[in-house]
Amino acid sequence: MGAERGSAAGVVWDLSGLYGAPDDPRLDHDLAGAAADARAFAARLRGRVASLAPAEIAAAIAEYETIEERGRRPSHYASLLVAADAGDEVAKRLADRTRDAWVDVVNELTFFELELKDLPDDRWASLADAPELADCRHWIETLRQLRPHTLSEAEERILNRKNVTGRETLARIFDELSAALRFRVEIDGAVEEVDANDALALLYRPDAALRERAFTALLEGFAAHDVVLAGIFDGLVHDHRVDCELRGYADPVAPTHLENEVRAGTIDAMMAATERHYGLAQEYFRLKARLLGVPRLKNTDVYAPLGAAPATVSFAEAGRLVLDAFAGFSPEFAVLARDFFTHRWIDAEPRRGKRLGAFCASLGPSATPHVLLTWADTPRDVATLAHELGHGVHDRLAARQRPINCQPPLTLAETASTFAELVVTRALLAREPRADVRRDLLCAKLEDTIGTVFRQNVLTRFEMAAHARRQDASLGSRELCDLWWAENGRLYGDAVEMIAAYRWGWTYIPHFIHSRFYCYSYVFGELLVLALYRRFEAEGAAFVPRYLELLAAGARDAPDVLLRRLGVDVDDPAFWDEGFAVVASLLDELRATLRDSTSPGS
């Protein structure tokens, strides 16, 4: 058995820090305890929060945190069991039971956040500077930011009910339609029916004609439902417009900015900087055309493999490699990551029934994080391991905060993970003498950055254009195709030929349906990390403790406040150029490997 499961056979996580087994009596003890404590908490404080003294509010928050973590612990444990084996019926029943119990606790506690949010402004003004509330202030202020945009309880209740039959129904139609679609693609001489994920995976195949066939089949398959898909898109944009009017948001992006704790001007400057640097992406596309031996890239060639046989890496080797790279950056970072191996907080072996993909899950300061991934011995797995361990170390550092402050804000959530990947890529490049392997590492990093920075910027611009256009009239599929084509054309310029069916590229992207304007946070996260890495290269060891402090601050303050302590000013439009300087130097290095190797055209 062992050999079939590859080099990570037997690398299974140990969850005993949470509970001993699904029938551990402490599970029910925690569920019952949290429920009883939540009821007592509500009976004592409901309707009274506005009249509490600062020390009493601080004590109530501490009590709230304890109940919350205890109430969530059983369902956290059960969700890890299910992720490890979706076929485990005992775990599934436990997950259902603990989730229901957890929802009861949440319902009992909800009044507390609502009453803090609704504190009258003059009352909050008299509390905000109380020393007892110093490390709760940011959390309360984040709750209170929504106060001006919240309607009466009766109106909110009506909206909630109408959303189920309105926008949630539109989103469900999209999900069901896109999951049901099948596309006929000729693969190796035989016509196969594939779903959307499989069709998109074919974009990574070496055969250029296959890539184009697969993408065209996908896009035309979606285009056949243009009336439905444009109708859903238009309906959601219109719904959001009405919502913004009712809630007093001046701009359709404003609610997202508020949630992300960033200013509109910061994001505008970031997007403008990205567009100023579209030329860097175009330079990469030209280099990639040379590497593939074609005069001009098509947009189906961007992720084409370069042909070198992929190396295999064992799990043990990767662990050494990642920890060495981390140690070269910061011994403390490496020590915190090493514990995941020594205490078995990682589940890496491939198994049937295991959740796809990878994640790092954290409960809060009272438990250690756990990492799940499926090791397939590829270099891509090394990056995934570095990424998830980056999350893990971030979580462990932020666990030094109180529970309400230990979950990093969305804009910083991918900082440690992406930074860790970059540290490992850099370490690999430093020790790699072979030009073709260096070339592949550089291309992988550049394609990653193009996907997260440039492409996500295009997606966001398209959404902004669609929302702006909706002010005048409803949106049809032709208009959406035109907006999509124009925004993508700005990125690709004359470096890439877009295939004709790409006009329909907007139809299959779930972010537009489920998480409006979410895509710009990818741009923010990646550019921030590139800029931080550049500071590390310039400042060396002096940078490291301040960086670890940023991670350890969790969500204690707004992202811009935390970053300023590191000397980073995201409100300075010039800041974003620092990230692009890293992209430019990666391109230089790639050009150098082309000169070193004997590949055609060098």
Residue ranges in contact with Zn ion by CB under 5 A: 417
Nearer to Zn ion, 192 or 447 (CB): 447
Taking the least distance from each CB to Zn ion, the nearer of 415 and 488 is: 415
Which residue number, 419 or 492, has a Cβ lying nearer to Zn ion? 419
| The dihedral formed by the CA atoms of 317, 318, 320 and 326, expressed in degrees to the nearest 10 | 160
Q: Which of 269, 386, 415 is nearest to 328 (CA)?
A: 386
Say if CB 333 and CB 393 are below 8 A apart.
yes
In angstroms, the CA 219 to CA 369 distance is 40
Shortest distance, position 530 Cβ to Zn ion, whole Å: 16
**DSSP 8-state code for residue 191:** E
Give min distance, CB of 414 to Zn ion, in A.
5
3-state helix, strand, coil in the chain (%, to 5): 70, 5, 25
- Cβ proximity to Zn ion: between 417 and 449 the closer is 417
Report residue 427: phi and psi, to 5°.
-65, -40
The full length of the chain comes to 602
> Residue 399 CB, nearest distance to Zn ion (Å)?
17
Nearest approach in angstroms of CB 525 to Zn ion is: 9
Between residues 417 and 521, which has the closer beta carbon with respect to Zn ion?
A: 417
Token pair listed for 499: 């295939």
The Cα–Cα gap between 394 and 429 comes to 24
Which DSSP letter does residue 193 get?
E
Q: How far is the CB of 330 from Zn ion (least distance, A)?
A: 19
| Sequence-ordered alpha helix ranges (H) in 520-574 | 520-539, 543-552, 559-564
> Minimum CB separation from Zn ion for residue 490, in Å?
28
Q: Please name the amino acid found at residue 132.
A: E
- Least distance from Zn ion to the Cβ atom of residue 417, Å: 4
Residue 455 DSSP label: H
The answer to whether residues 389 and 337 touch, using CB atoms and an 8 Å cutoff, is yes
Of 419 and 543, nearer to Zn ion (C-beta) is: 419
Give residues with Cβ within 8 angstroms of 451, minimum separation 6.
none
- Contact between 474 and 234 (Cβ < 8 Å): yes
CA of 242: how far to CAs of 220, 235, 462, 467, 518, in Å? 32, 11, 20, 12, 19
Distance CA 136, CA 2 (A): 50
Least distance from C-beta 418 to Zn ion, angstroms?
A: 7
User: Three-state secondary structure along 213-280?
Assistant: HHHHHHHHHHHCCHHHHHHHHHHHHHHHHHHHHHHCCCCCCHHHHHHHCCCHHHHHHHHHHHHHCHHH
CB nearer to Zn ion: pick between 49 and 399: 399
Question: Between residues 255 and 525, which has the closer beta carbon with respect to Zn ion?
Answer: 525
Angle between helices 226-247 and 477-492 (to 10 degrees): 90
Residue nearest to Zn ion (CB): 417
For Zn ion, the closer of residues 94 and 383 by Cβ is 383
The distance of closest approach from Cβ of residue 448 to Zn ion in the complex, given in angstroms and rounded to an integer, is: 12
274 vs 417 by CB, closer to Zn ion: 417
CA–CA distance, 127 with 133 (Å, rounded to integer): 8
Q: Count the Cβ atoms, other than its own, within 10 Å of residue 2.
A: 9
Least spacing, CB of residue 105 vs Zn ion, in Å: 28
Q: How far is the CB of 602 from Zn ion (least distance, A)?
A: 35
Residue in 456, 455, 457, 486 with CA at minimum distance from that of residue 469: 486
The pair of three-digit structure tokens given for residue 277, joined into one six-digit string = 């640097």
Q: How near is the Cβ of 383 to Zn ion at its closest, in Å?
A: 11
With respect to Zn ion, which residue has the nearer C-beta, 216 or 417? 417
Q: Which is nearer to Zn ion, 417 or 452 (CB)?
A: 417
Instruction: Give min distance, CB of 240 to Zn ion, in A.
Output: 27
Closest to Zn ion by CB, 301 or 381: 381
